[in-house]
Each structure stands twice: as C-alpha cells, then as structure tokens.
C-alpha cells in the first residue's frame, strides 16, 4: 500500500486557495486514473486505485482536519495500514518554489508549513514531499494573505497544465523514480517553442 496525501483545508471557502493545491493535485490523480469515488475515512476523504493492472494498491488521502492537524488523519491511516514513511508521499504548496514548478524532496524540515509540521509530529519525517510551487509574494508580511488567497484567473494558465502533468506522471513517482517524475512534469508544462521562421527570400535587387 502506497499512501498519497494532499494537504489543504476543507470547505467551500478554502477550495480555491493556493494552500489547497495539494487537494487539487489528488483530485487530478483520482480523475485521471479512475480511482474509486471519494469517501470518508481516517478523518479525511479517501479514494483507492492502482496505476496499471499489476501495480501496488494506492490510497489517496485528503485530511479533513484542517491544515494544522493534518497529522491526525495521516497518522490514523498509517497505523491502520501499518505503513512507514517510505510508503508515504505528501503533496503540498511551496512558497519557495516558483509558481508552476515542482520539486520532490525526501525528509528534511517543515520550513514553517503547518501541515508538514503536524505530520512530522505523528510520523518519521523521512517521507517524500512533492513541493508544488505557488511562488512567494515578495514580502514576508503578505505570506499569509498570499497562501490563503485564491488562485487568480491568470494563474490558470500554469495551474491547470501543472495539475494535469502531475496526474500524468504520478505512476513514475510511485515507482520511486523521482527524477523521471520531475522531468516528465517539466516537459509537459514547458511552453511551446516558437516556430522557426523560414529564411528571408532575396529581395532580387
């Protein structure tokens, strides 16, 4: 069993927040790979499925405990399935990664992210994290407003392709091929190259 966790806050008022990009990533994976419908379990919402007929069983988990208590939900699922940090992958928003980019990291500190802080209190922190870039507002005083603010319409230009790419490449992540996952996402989200212009014809002069 592999558990993919997406971090966010429950409820309609938070649904479009930058802080909820982890929820959005799991929704994209659930839809793309035709996992089971969402149901309530482990103080969260879960969906089950596989990437391919012979793959490991995968549980998608969106904690409904609010961000600061995410570890309660994750810890409950981990104890039930008797899994350790090696079988846990967490998708979360990341201020220090440019908007539309991702980085995969194993272990390390929580860097002030309250969802990770809560999970660390319940589990060994050596789990993998998919850091989904939302960009930094440039002013520390604006961080809370930025994180808890909704994505702007202009953000859809990079947000939707990013979520689609993460869903497409997710099987590579579960296989443990983090580098290939990151490369695949980068290729799928790269802007199209401009078409080469044919050489100018001689003017005949």
Show which residues are catalytic: 19
Is the distance from CB of 59 to CB of 5 less than 8 angstroms?
Answer: no
- Farthest CA pair distance, the chain: 82
- Beta-ladder partners of 4: 60, 89
Helix (H) or strand (E) holding 30: helix 21-32
Helix (H) or strand (E) holding 10: none
HEC string for 73-133: HHHHHHHHHCCCHHHEEEEEEECCCCCCCEEEEECCCCCCCHHHHHHHCCCCCCCEEEEEE
């Amino acid at each position: 069993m592999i558990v993919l966790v997406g971090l966010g806050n429950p409820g309609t008022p938070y649904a479009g927040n930058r802080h909820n990009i982890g929820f959005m990533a799991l929704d994209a994976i659930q839809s793309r790979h035709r996992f089971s419908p969402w149901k309530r379990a482990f103080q969260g919402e879960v969906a089950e499925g596989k990437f391919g007929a012979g793959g490991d069983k995968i549980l998608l988990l969106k904690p409904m405990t609010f961000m600061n208590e995410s570890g309660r939900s994750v810890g409950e699922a981990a104890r039930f399935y008797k899994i350790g940090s090696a079988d846990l992958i967490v998708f979360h928003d990341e201020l220090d990664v440019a908007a539309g980019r991702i980085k995969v990291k194993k272990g390390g500190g929580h860097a002030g992210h309250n969802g990770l802080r809560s999970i660390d209190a319940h589990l060994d922190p050596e789990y993998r994290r998919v850091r989904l870039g939302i960009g930094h507002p440039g002013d520390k005083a604006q961080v809370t407003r930025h994180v808890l603010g909704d994505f702007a319409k202009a953000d859809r230009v990079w947000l939707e392709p990013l979520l689609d790419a993460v869903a497409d490449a997710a099987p590579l992540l579960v296989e443990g091929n983090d580098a290939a996952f990151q490369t695949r996402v980068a290729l799928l989200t790269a802007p199209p190259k401009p078409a080469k212009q044919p050489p100018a014809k001689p003017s005949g002069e």
